[in-house]
Chains A and B, each alone.
Chain A
Amino acid sequence: MEILVTGILLGGTYALIALGLTLQYGVARIMNLANGETLVAAGFIAFWLFTSYQVSPLWGLLVIAPVAFAVNWAIYVWLLRPLVDRAKNQGMLEVDSILATFGLLFLFQGLMLRSFGGAYVSYTFLAERFTIFGSPYGLNRVVAFLAAALIGASLWSFLYLTRRGTAVRAVAVNPHSSNLVGIDVAGTAALAFALGGALTACGGTLLSTFYTFNASMGVLFTIKALIIVIMGGVGDVRGAVLAALILGVAETSVASLVDPGLTLSATYALFILVLLFRPQGIFGRQQT
């Protein structure tokens, strides 16, 4: 039971890391390699708000999410739209966006180094005991999990219950046909990219309450997010959440029952299995 709860909590953490990238890659078709840097930057801002102004990271979300939304919107419109416009096909856009966001990664890293220095940063927030079924867990992880659940649920309702959300899904499936039925593809893609950035920033804010991080650690999060997004099926929110939970539970079980040294192996073994038997991801559609 303890393993299951720890694993599910960890899965929530992973979902927070990956949800933003799902939207950015799945809908806006931008393979954002600066995803981890966005996450770390949000963590730094949460840290700064908390230590300098005693603003709780949960209130900090109210500032960080809109700012991240605006910044990512601007990045999409100014930096990435020209790439989208000139791309002749999906493959070309992917290559171009990988190169562009790779550059963005270094820019973000440099800016963070400039403003916050290279040292490890961490603070204590809600590091209290929270008892579930008689075992203690960190309250900050529970809060992060609840937030992940909330974000996941609202994202799902937005995508599946609203008109705008349906448009977003349509663009994810086929940008060209969406255009034909009168969907503003450019606007929708920008919205998805900005929303993805905001989600990643929310994830970073919540993760900073229990992770120690520094300006150079973004790439670790990007890799985790990539695995989850590809496992879940590109562009599918349900898939990403499910993949995150599977990874969380699998890693925790391996660490508890087999050997903590094998957690990474377990992750990649699962990843390879999914790639072998369901290359389109758990919820992915077969390419036509």
Chain B
Amino acid sequence: MIRRTMLVLTASVAAFTMATGFAVAQDVLKLGASAPKTGPLAGGAAVTHWPNIKLWIHEVNGRGGLKVGDKRLKVELVEYDDKTSGEEAVKNIQRLATVDKVDFIVSPYGTGLNAATAPIIARHGYPHIAATAATDSVAVFAKRWPNSFWLLGSSTQQAQGAVAALEKARKAGHIGNRVAVVHVADAFGLELIAAGKPALQKAGFEIVYEANYPLGTQDLAPIVSQAKAARPDAFVAFSYPPDTFALTEQAQIQKLEVGAFYVGVGTAFPSYIGRFKDTANGILGIGGVNMASKEMQEYRRKHREVTNAEADYWASAMTYASLQILEQAIERAGTLDRAAVIAEIKKTPAKTVLGELPLADNINHRLWTVGQWQDGVFHGVASTGLEGAREPIRKPAWK
């Protein structure tokens, strides 16, 4: 059903662009996007990925378009649903490159889909600025595909960030050495635990409870009660959004009192604070922003105005930054030549909502690793190379 509707849709989109495209062929920059609208990752993409593309196009076209040489090009979007499937994503990229003949491509969403499409994006020579892929393979990927740029860091960085935040909390006297660690049994959770466990041990923490659970589990009462029985000072979960929500609710119900409570992915979502409100105060998770920065405040305001939704406090800004990087590189290069744009991305750091992001080695080293809800805002408390980190507060007792 969906496939057929999509076919009709794409056909009409194609017909439409052909009808209008020829008249203004020179004044349009065609941007292709393939990311999940359905499937397991659709929930994240709907918050983090699609609204930022919409916002960026709105901004650029509002300024009159991208300045390429002495021309102003309006951005026109061709978008496809990859159904959270690598195969489908590869087909979409192929189609964007050969049928729609887009000028540039927005990176897909998530670690797996970015890795799956990297070879085909490289084959067509597009710059690939991955804003939502966090894996330990980024160094390998960056070498293998010189057209690719990896903004969200590695799992090791994220896990070490979490441990760094715990160390800060221990130094401040919020917690002792006893830590309970749980993780989802999926690539993401496994990578984080593989990096996180040695980091915890090296920092002198004692792991008093460790468990994993299958992907998609939302009945986590046994895990929380077992963790509670181990009397930890801190609770760390490398979890996906539905389980992040479920763990938080169970911890609240069972009164798992710890000085530091870390869960995520999903903690940085607006729906997290929407659901837990004041209870979220003091909860740690992946992500964070520097709300003292003018650019960030401005970005979040516009995001709210244009997309009618709050940006999340982690990869949303990074996704927007990835488009700013592309925009500035195109304008500086003054051409739509992809190789020239790739060279330009490497050469000059772009000024983004997150500050300057140098990409000389194709990897971004400046990112927030841990944030904490403090009075309704998810402030960054640990980062690599970014300014404006706040001190973590002690997690107040559950209500």
Contacts and interface: CB of A to CB of B under 8 A. Distances in A.
Contacts of B213: 255, 260-261, 263
B275 A113 contact: no
B42 A214 contact: yes
Given A2-B225, A136-B255, 11 more contacts: A10-B219, A118-B38, A122-B242, A127-B249, A128-B253, A138-B221, A138-B250, A212-B218, A212-B241, A256-B225, A260-B226
Contact of A103 (B1, B42, B217, B271): B1
Contacts of A215: 38, 42
Given A118-B43, A122-B271, A107 B255 contact: no
B36 A118 contact: yes
Interface in A179-229: 210-217, 220
Interface in B185-242: 185, 211-214, 216-223, 225-226, 241-242
B372 to A, nearest CB: 20
Interface string A103-118: 1001101100100011
Interface string A124-142: 1001110000011110000
B336 interface: no
Given A118-B45, A138-B250, A213 B242 contact: yes
A46 B253 CA distance: 22
B245 to A, nearest CB: 4
A256 B252 contact: no
Contacts of B37: 113, 118
Nearest to B4: A106
Given A110-B5, A261-B214, A256 B226 contact: yes
A117 B44 CA distance: 11
B375 to A, nearest CB: 19
A136 B43 contact: no
B190 to A, nearest CB: 11
Contacts of B46: 117-119, 214
Contacts of B69: none
B219 A251 contact: yes
Nearest to B222: A255
Given A136-B254, A216-B42, A261 B211 contact: yes
A124 B212 CA distance: 25
Interface of A: 2-3, 6, 10, 13, 103, 106-107, 109-110, 113, 117-124, 127-129, 135-138, 210-217, 220, 251-252, 255-256, 259-261, 263-264
B47 interface: yes
Contacts of A214: 42-43, 46
B38 A113 contact: yes
Contacts of A110: 1-2, 5
B64 interface: no
Contacts of B221: 6, 10, 137-138, 252
Contact of B222 (A103, A121, A136, A252): A252
Interface of B: 1-2, 5, 36-40, 42-47, 84, 182, 185, 211-214, 216-223, 225-226, 241-242, 245-246, 249-250, 252-255, 266, 269, 271, 274-277
Given A127-B252, A255-B213, A263-B214, A212 B242 contact: yes
A278 B283 CA distance: 48
A124 B222 contact: no
Given A260-B223, A261-B212, A109 B242 contact: no
Given A137-B253, A256-B225, A120 B241 contact: yes
A217 B38 CA distance: 9
Contacts of B36: 118
B79 to A, nearest CB: 13
A186 to B, nearest CB: 27
B315 to A, nearest CB: 14
A103 B4 CA distance: 11
A214 B269 CA distance: 14
B245 A122 contact: yes
B8 to A, nearest CB: 13
A106 B218 contact: no
A212 B263 CA distance: 15
Contacts of B84: 216
Nearest to B245: A212
22 contacts: A6-B225, A106-B2, A113-B42, A118-B37, A119-B47, A120-B47, A120-B269, A124-B276, A138-B221, A138-B250, A210-B246, A210-B249, A216-B38, A216-B42, A251-B219, A252-B221, A256-B222, A259-B212, A260-B211, A260-B223, A260-B226, A263-B217
A214 B223 CA distance: 24
B1 A106 contact: yes
Contacts of B255: 129, 136
Contacts of B43: 118-120, 214, 216
A92 to B, nearest CB: 22
> Which of B39, B216, B219, B274 has the most CB atoms of chain A within a 10 A radius of its CB?
B219
A136 B254 CA distance: 6
Closest 6 CB pairs of A and B: A118-B46, A118-B42, A255-B222, A119-B46, A214-B43, A106-B1
Given A121-B271, A213-B242, A220 B249 contact: no
Nearest to A207: B218
Contacts of A211: 218, 242, 246
A65 to B, nearest CB: 23
Nearest to B225: A2
Contact of A123 (B38, B226, B275): B275
A119 B307 CA distance: 14
B271 A120 contact: yes
A6 B38 CA distance: 33
Contacts of A210: 218, 246, 249
A269 to B, nearest CB: 14
